[in-house]
Amino acid sequence: MNKVMTMKEAISKYMKAGDILFLSGMQHGEPSAAIHEIVRQKIEHLTLVSCLVATSALLLGEGLIDKMVTGYTSQDERSYAIAKAKAMNRLPVFEEYSHFGVSLALFAGQMGIPFIPTKSQIGSDMLKYNENIKSIECPFTGEKTGAVRAIVPDAGIIHVQRADADGNAQKWGTVGVDQEGINASKTVIVTTEKIVDSEVIRRDPNRTIIPGFRVSAVVEQPWGAYPMHLAGCYSGDMWGFYGETGPQESYEAYIKEFVYGVNDWDEYLKKRRAIKGEEYFNNLQINMVMSEPIVTGY
């Protein structure tokens, strides 16, 4: 089975309206290129499971999300994305956890169990507002404990530094809830800075965040996490993105020019380079040999 394909092919083939979608990245290495493609294809009625994924604001602003499962969002009544979604009568329902609560729900999904016990959450007001967090009695001790219901996304997208053509994907740096979320997902799309030989993966197996047999599609997409940073590859420009997509006029200009006005991420990058200049991207670039493993240990 040939898993290597374009972003357009991967999103159209392995995502559909109504999916529960997990997006990787917790202010690091989010699948920005994939998010732009989802918006471009207008895949709607999504339940979004993510933590601190900045470019998911585009999904929200274009009215593609019915429900957001999250521990925190910077999108509030001051956000134009929220205002636009509200104006379209597409404001999503928010299902709130702590960040740890989201990780527990996804971890339960990863393990294939219906819920996971915890000593956290039940000391808060979460139980009043989230029906997927309960207080139960331990069957062994009678102790009061929490229970967080499993989340099993229909589709999961993760952006990584490198992967082989079979989908064995490696990511390092801050991984947030990436491992739990992507391994809980039924269908997995890996986007990667570089496709490397499988021998490179085997020489440094501890960095593999998901094995290839769980992966449906592999997309080689340099700068696929921009404007967020990706450890060992490039620094980010998160605040620049917020500046461009915050106010109404600049948001609509961004959507028109850089989402619907391009065919793919390569064309997006070409436009960005023309505007920002090569020096801008050179300053973000971190020079690292992606085909070689990073030796760790003693």
Q: Which ranges in the chain belong to alpha helices (H)? A: 7-14, 32-41, 57-61, 80-87, 99-111, 126-129, 178-184, 198-202, 238-245, 248-254, 265-276, 278-284
pLDDT of residue 279: 96
Distance between CA atoms of residues 109 and 113, nearest Å = 6
In a domain, 14, yes or no: yes
Q: Which amino acid, one-letter code, is at 200? A: V
In a domain, 175, yes or no: yes
**Structural domain total, the chain:** 1
In a domain, 51, yes or no: yes
pLDDT of residue 296: 43
In a domain, 134, yes or no: no
Q: Which amino acid, one-letter code, is at 7? A: M
Give the closest residue to 21 by CA, choosing from 188, 191, 229: 188
In a domain, 54, yes or no: yes
CA 298 to chain centre: 33
3-state helix/strand/coil string of 164-207: CCCCCEECCCCCCCHHHHHHHCCEEEEEEEEECCHHHHHCCHHH
pLDDT of residue 270: 97
Question: What angle is formed at CA 196 by the lines to CA 274 and CA 229, rounded to 5 degrees?
Answer: 45
In a domain, 107, yes or no: no
In a domain, 146, yes or no: no
In a domain, 135, yes or no: no
- Owning domain of residue 230: 7-96+152-284
Distance between CA atoms of residues 151 and 115, nearest Å = 9
Distance between CA atoms of residues 106 and 37, nearest Å = 25
CB 154 within 8 A of CB 19: yes
**Cβ atoms within 10 Å of 104's Cβ, excluding its own:** 27
pLDDT tens for the chain, 298 residues long, are: 799 999 999 999 999 999 999 999 998 999 999 999 999 999 999 999 999 999 999 999 999 999 999 988 777 667 899 899 999 999 999 999 999 999 999 999 999 999 999 998 888 888 889 999 999 999 999 999 999 999 999 999 999 999 999 999 999 999 999 999 999 999 999 999 999 999 999 999 999 999 999 999 999 999 999 999 999 999 999 999 999 998 899 999 999 999 999 999 999 999 999 999 999 999 999 975 555 555 443 3
CATH classification of the domain holding 238: 3.40.1080.10
The number of residues in the chain equals 298
pLDDT of residue 292: 55
Distance between CA atoms of residues 164 and 169, nearest Å = 7
